[in-house]
Amino acid sequence: MMSKWAHAISFSFRSGSQADSLPIVSRIRAIDPHNSLKNIGGKRSMSVQTHRKCNVVIIGGGAIGSSTAYWLKKRASKDLSVIVLERDPTYKEASTVLSCGGVRQQFSLPENIQLSLFGGEFIQNAKKYLGDVDLCFQPNGYLVLASEKSAEVLQQNYKLQKELGACNELLTADKLKQKFPWLNVEDIALGCHGLDKEGWFDPWALLGGFRNRAKEYGADFLQGEVLDFHIPDGSKKINSVRVRAKTKEICTVDFDICVLTAGAHSGEIARKANIGNGPGALSTALPIEPRKRYVYVFTTQGENAPGPNTPQTHDLDGTYFRRDGKGSNYIAGRGPDEEAEPPVNNLDVDHEFFDTNVWPTLAKRCTAFESIKVCGSWAGFYEYNTFDANGIVGPHTYYNNLYIGTGFSGHGIQQSPAVGRVLSELILDGGYKTLDISRLGFDRIAANRPMFESNIY
Q: Where does this chain bind ligand FAD (CB under 6 A)?
A: 59-65, 85-88, 91, 94-96, 98-102, 225-226, 261-265, 269, 293, 295, 380-383, 406, 408, 410-414
CB of 396 to ligand FAD, least distance (A): 16
The values of phi and psi at residue 115, to 5°, are -60, -40
Q: What are the residues whose beta carbons fall under 8 Å from the beta carbon of 162, sequence distance 6 or more?
A: 168
- Give the nearer residue to ligand FAD in terms of CB position, either 120 or 395: 120
- Give the nearer residue to ligand FAD in terms of CB position, either 139 or 410: 410
- Give the nearer residue to ligand FAD in terms of CB position, either 117 or 368: 117
CB of 321 to ligand FAD, least distance (A): 12
Q: Which residues pair with 175 in a beta bridge?
A: none
**Are residues 205 and 135 in contact, defined by beta-carbon separation less than 8 angstroms?**
yes
* 413 alpha-carbon distance from chain centroid: 5
CB of 80 to ligand FAD, least distance (A): 20
- Give the nearer residue to ligand FAD in terms of CB position, either 191 or 410: 410
CB of 34 to ligand FAD, least distance (A): 24
- Give the nearer residue to ligand FAD in terms of CB position, either 95 or 361: 95
- Give the nearer residue to ligand FAD in terms of CB position, either 23 or 302: 23
CB of 389 to ligand FAD, least distance (A): 11
**Are residues 55 and 81 in contact, defined by beta-carbon separation less than 8 angstroms?**
yes
Cα Rg for the chain, rounded, in angstroms?
23
**Are residues 402 and 107 in contact, defined by beta-carbon separation less than 8 angstroms?**
no
- Give the nearer residue to ligand FAD in terms of CB position, either 182 or 408: 408
- Give the nearer residue to ligand FAD in terms of CB position, either 98 or 146: 98
- Give the nearer residue to ligand FAD in terms of CB position, either 194 or 263: 263
Task: Give the single-character DSSP code of 314.
Answer: E
CB of 378 to ligand FAD, least distance (A): 7
The values of phi and psi at residue 250, to 5°, are -105, 130
CB of 419 to ligand FAD, least distance (A): 9
Q: What are the residues whose beta carbons fall under 8 Å from the beta carbon of 413, sequence distance 6 or more?
A: 63, 95, 96, 99, 101, 102, 103, 203, 206
The string of DSSP codes covering 230-267 is EEETT-SS--EEEEE-TTS-EEEEEEEEEEE--GGGHH
CB of 41 to ligand FAD, least distance (A): 32
Q: What are the residues whose beta carbons fall under 8 Å from the beta carbon of 358, sequence distance 6 or more?
A: 296, 319, 332, 333, 334
- In terms of Cα–Cα distance, which of 94, 394, 404 is closest to 275? 404
CA distances from 318 to 315, 321, 358 (A): 5, 10, 9
